[in-house]
Amino acid sequence: MGNSTRNPNAKTYTQGELTGYLIGLAGQNIIYNIISSGLMYYFQSVIFLPAMAYSMIVAIARVWDAVNDPMMGTIVDKTHTKWGKCKPYLLFVPAIICICTILPFINRQYSTALPMWEKILVVGWAGFSYILWGMSYTAGDIPIWGVTSLMTEDAKDRAKALALARIVANVGVIGMAVQFLAPSFKGMFIDKGHNDATALQYSMILLAVIVTVFATLLFQVAGFAVKEKVKQPSEKKPSIKENFRTMWQCKPFRQLLVSGIIRSPIQLLSTVALTLVMYFFFDNDPGRALSTDNGLNIQLILKVLIIGLGIFGGMIVASAFTPSLARKFEKKSLYNFYSIIGAVPFGLIFVFYLIAGVKIRDEFIWAVIMGITFFAASWAMGGLNVLQSIMIADCVDYEEYHNNNRPDGIFFSGQSFITKLGAGISTVISGVIFSIVHWSSDVIADTNAALAQGGASFAVDYEKFAATMFFIVAIPPMIGLVLSAIPTMKYALPNDEHKRILASLIEKRHGSQAEESEEEVK
């Protein structure tokens, strides 16, 4: 059982610093969702990049991340400035990320009729710009999560900050507006003589620029607001090789890292779910689907709202309640409970689709059933995300206690790697499955054209593809969740041990500072 007693000597953040941090994190997560959800839709359904080509791009990017993320974590840990080691990156990196987020959208449409050199150019630019975005994003992602263990010495305040961070991270769904609202802006480009496909592409580029700039301004707030309160234990600057060794030799961190990698397919819920909603409920045009001769289609709005609240609401609620549960119960037990029990609603998503099919869209009761099921699945995802961040921060304390080295950057690079690897593995899985059912560039283009003419229903006329999308968001995450509990069954850092370690560290830090003050007086 945990204990929430505060250490009176612990330094912590002010309310203003916490608020500024959360505003910045909201902006950073909007940017993440522009890419993780919007770019997948853009590549596959707007410029018609072959699913396998996109999967290969993401696979290559993830291999590079395996090197780049720890390398960036090492750079952060070696940074010693008057501001600290994470704050400098939060001041100067957002503008770079802004530019790199827009670049992947600046591309032309892929077609089997293009000359080979143009196909290579389209795929090559998609790959280069996506990898460049990943590198720039890492330079901001590691510091904005790593700084949470530097803003406060109090375990309860840190858990509070991380829980609020995970809740606020859900504001990132604003980034999905790039995909969701783009069809509504096609008219202004069609009026200028562009065809439907080109108008959709230009609409997404326009929205990507607007939303990215807005998100960057929010992200920048964190750089000005945060202050690092935890004094670094030494000027030791480990090499990349030493940091790789540290990551693997720290047993609790290693267990979390392996578990997170195995759990990667869970991100299919967020990366594919919006595409599923776009096609299954809206026939790829929300504006047309939500309007009728008598005004708005209120029933469809309510159904989609229920499904949407299920997909995202569970994560938000779980983020709010999980820190309290983590103080009452062993984090390990709660983590494994979410992993194993959370697999059940994921499996039920596909089971219910097999039973109901198009009734999920047409009948209100089935929308409610699916909304509840999605809520339970997303609760597991949200709870695990919060626990992962809290437990990684605990591992930083563990490493400082045992080796007098505080690897905030390198350990939170592990979280960044897990997040991006999860998105990558999810994309590869979806790409392979879509290829098996022949959801190819030409088929997508023909499907979009048929849906745009209003003469087809995706849920009925393209039932095979609809079933595929439900399968993707349900079955791979279910399998990944169950298997991810295996590495953490014997987690090496119990709550009571972490409490003892943290108390010892605080006493040591303040004892050292008192000695330094006495020396200055002498």
Residue 170 within any structural domain of the chain: yes
- Residue 432 structural domain: 15-230+254-521
**Predicted local distance difference test score (pLDDT) of residue 3:** 45
- For residues 13 and 165, the answer to whether their CB atoms sit within 8 Å is no
Mean pLDDT throughout 408-421? Answer: 81
Within-domain flag for 8: no
The answer on pLDDT for 428 being more than 70 is yes
Mean pLDDT of the chain: 87
**Contact between residue 416 and residue 145 where contact means Cβ atoms under 8 Å apart:** yes
474 or 197: whose pLDDT is higher?
474
Q: Is residue 6 part of a domain?
A: no
Residue 446 pLDDT > 50: yes
Question: Count of CB atoms within 10 A of residue 299's CB?
Answer: 12
DSSP assignment of 111-129 equals -TTS-HHHHHHHHHHHHHH
Percent of the chain clearing pLDDT 70 (strictly above):
94
| Count of domains for the chain | 1
Q: Say which range, 326-330, 386-390, 399-403, 518-522, has the weakest mean pLDDT.
A: 518-522
**DSSP notation for 240-272:** HHHHHHHHHHSHHHHHHHHHHHHTGGGGHHHHH
Asked if residue 241 is part of any domain, the answer here is: no
pLDDT at 520 over 50: no
What pLDDT digit, counting tens, does each position of 346-399 carry?
Answer: 999 999 999 999 999 999 999 999 999 999 999 999 999 889 989 998 998 999
Question: Does residue 229 register a pLDDT over 90?
Answer: no
The token pair at 407 is 């690897």
List C-alpha distances in Å: 102 to 62, 167, 213, 216: 20, 26, 9, 12
Q: Provide long-range contacts, Cβ within 8 A and 24+ apart, for 1-8.
A: 1/328, 1/329, 1/330, 1/495, 2/326, 2/327, 2/328, 2/329, 2/330, 2/495, 2/499, 3/327, 3/495, 3/499, 4/156, 4/327, 6/154, 6/156, 6/157, 7/153, 7/154, 7/502, 7/503, 7/506
Mean pLDDT confidence for 152-162: 85
Query: In this predicted model, what pLDDT tens digit does every residue of 452-508 receive, in sequence order?
Result: 888 789 999 999 999 999 999 999 999 999 999 999 999 999 999 999 998 898 888
CATH number (domain holding residue 460): 1.20.1250.20
Do 441 and 110 form a contact (C-beta atoms < 8 A)? Answer: yes
Instruction: Return d(Cα 392, Cα 282) in angstroms, integer.
Output: 40
Least confident of 114-128, 148-162, 333-347: 148-162
Cβ neighbours, 10 Å, residue 322: 26
Structure tokens at 260: 């997170």
Report the range out of 40-44, 90-94, 175-179, 227-231 with the highest average pLDDT.
90-94
So what's the pLDDT on residue 233?
64
Residue 349 inside a domain? The answer is yes
Please check whether residue 23 is in contact with residue 225, taking contact to mean a CB–CB distance below 8 angstroms. Answer: yes
Identify whether the C-beta of residue 90 lies closer than 8 Å to the C-beta of residue 23: no
Tell me, yes or no, whether 5 lies in a domain.
Answer: no
Give the 3-state DSSP-derived string for 15-55, with helices as H, strands as E and coil as C: HHHHHHHHHHHHHHHHHHHHHHHHHHHHHHHHCCCCHHHHH
d(CA 369, CA 156): 36
Pick from 35, 105, 114: nearest CA to 441: 114
Residue 517: predicted pLDDT: 46
Angle between helices 495-521 and 155-169 in degrees, nearest 10: 110
Q: Residues 397, 12, 239, CA angle at the centre, nearest 5°? A: 35
Distance CA 75, CA 91 (A): 16
Distance (Å, whole) CA 24 – CA 141: 11
Given this model, what pLDDT does residue 476 score? Answer: 95
For residue 484, which of 177, 238, 264, 269 has the smallest C-alpha distance? 264
Q: Using CA atoms, how far apart are residues 280 and 284, in angstroms rounded to an integer? A: 8
Helices 331-341/463-484 angle, 10° precision: 150
Task: State the average pLDDT over residues 423-452.
Answer: 85
pTM: 0.75
N- to C-terminal Cα separation, the chain: 45
Q: Residue 365: its pLDDT value, please?
A: 95
Reported as a single tens digit per residue, the pLDDT across 274-303 is 789 889 998 888 878 877 767 778 888 899
Tokens coding 132: 């460049």
